[in-house]
Amino acid sequence: MSRVATELKTALGEAGHRLTGPRLAVWDVVASSRSHLTAEEIAESVRDRDPTVNLSSVYRSLSLFAELGLVRESNLGANEASHWELAHSDESFHLRCTSCGKVEHHTGDLVTQVEHHLSHHHGFHASRVELLVHGTCAECAATS
């Protein structure tokens, strides 16, 4: 059993879930990608390895992984499919270029500052922060 397979099996086992073919295939795709993929895109890659895996199982695997904190689901736009990736902290937020569509990450302490401010001054205890910045990336600004 490969390295990633063992890691996934451990994470699943601790939560009382089984390691199955579809789950491993979905995990391999998400863990080896650096981009934000839709369930359909993940399913396409999964089918390369095993064409019998159903789209429903891809959704079920992704939902389970999200519950276990293994992946992150993001809404990058109204009425768009969710995008999935390996889990990363709220500190690392999303910059989406409205021109080329690229999604970049930016990490700063801003999110932590907001969390502390809300907690100390307003009694609001943050569990998850989603920060999405739409705009024009450096490359697109230079080109236009």
Partner DNA sequence: ACTGCAGTTGCGAATGCCTCGCAATAAGAC
Partner DNA sequence: GTCTTATTGCGAGGCATTCGCAACTGCAGT
Given the rule CB under 8 A, which of 14-22, 29-37, 45-53, 98-106 is the region that contacts its own copies?
Answer: 98-106
Residue 78 CB, shortest distance to its own copies, in Å, is 5
The nearest distance, CB 126 to Zn ion, in angstroms, is 13
Q: At what angle do helices 55-67 and 21-31 cross, to 10 degrees?
A: 70
Footprint of its own copies on 54-93 (CB under 8 A): 73, 75, 77-79, 82
Pairing of strands 103-107, 92-97: antiparallel
Give how far Cα 51 sits from Cα of 2, 38, 62, 79, Å. Answer: 21, 18, 18, 28
Tell me the C-alpha distance between 57 and 133, whole Å: 31
The tokens for 88 are 């990363």
CB of 103 to DNA, least distance (A): 15
Indicate the residue among 16 and 123 with the shorter CB distance to its own copies: 123
Contacting residues for 137 by C-beta, under 8 A, at least 6 apart: 95, 97, 99, 100, 102, 104
Q: Which of residues 100-139 bind its own copies (CB under 8 A)?
A: 104, 106, 108, 110, 113-115, 117-118, 122-138
Residues at the interface with its own copies (CB under 8 A): 73, 75, 77-79, 82, 95, 97-98, 104, 106, 108, 110, 113-115, 117-118, 122-138, 141-142
